[in-house]
Amino acid sequence: MKKAADVRFDLALAKEILDSYFCFSGVQSRLYASDGTLVYEQGQQNNCCEACRNVTKAAGCTHQCEQIHLHGMKNAEQFGGRYIYFCPMHMVYYSSPILISGVQAGAFVCGPVLIMDVDDYLEEETEMLDADPEGRELFRRAVELLPQVEPRQMNYLSQQLFADAVYVSDSVQELLILRSKNLHQGMINDYI
């Protein structure tokens, strides 16, 4: 069996698919290698993650965002080809793996999105954000630009990302088997 580091996928196709996904969804979209290395990004003009890192650092907190996304990528493979998760700042992300010869060669990761009103979200995060008024305002402006989606729409966005990952993968059967084996994640997605 091939090791993940030895596996390659059509990078040009993956980038094209990610561009299309961002164009219709408006959700920041990333392509990662299987080791968690960022390969390509679309939609970084609203860099909410950068604003988040700045404000949380000023408040004395550090988050291992790359590790969280790597964990999300691995869970997407385990839980049926798609996985919806929260970052430490309670923003929603979702991912789907790209499988080549049955091995995860990379993944699409999209987000952040909000599944609640911006003011409600910021009100919940005020403890963290009270530390730096200037950073809080920059963060607020970045959050206001994030896509806000209903939970049902979140599920559809995740399903479309899965379909896009299947298109780039050569292991459609393995992804479909993963998906049918784990209905539990589907119930979690519906609940979220």
CB 184 within 8 A of CB 84: no
pLDDT of residue 8: 82
* Pairing state between β 103-113 and 83-86: unpaired
Q: How far is CA 107 from CA 4, 48, 92, 97, 177, in A?
A: 12, 21, 16, 4, 17
The encoded tokens of residue 21 equal: 């996904």
**Containing H/E element for 93?**
strand 92-100
| Per-run averaged pLDDT (10 residues), the chain, 192 residues | 56 95 95 93 76 69 82 90 90 94 92 90 71 75 89 94 93 63 58 60
CB 33 within 8 A of CB 8: no
Helix intervals (H) in the chain: 11-25, 48-58, 65-78, 118-124, 126-129, 133-144, 151-168, 172-181, 183-191
pLDDT of residue 39: 93
Query: Which residue, among 5, 164, 191, 190, has the nearest Cα to 81 in the 3D structure?
Result: 164
Rounded to two decimals, the pTM is 0.83
pLDDT of residue 127: 63
pLDDT of residue 52: 74
Helix intervals (H) in 26-150: 48-58, 65-78, 118-124, 126-129, 133-144
pLDDT of residue 34: 92
Distance of CA 158 to the CA centre of its chain: 9
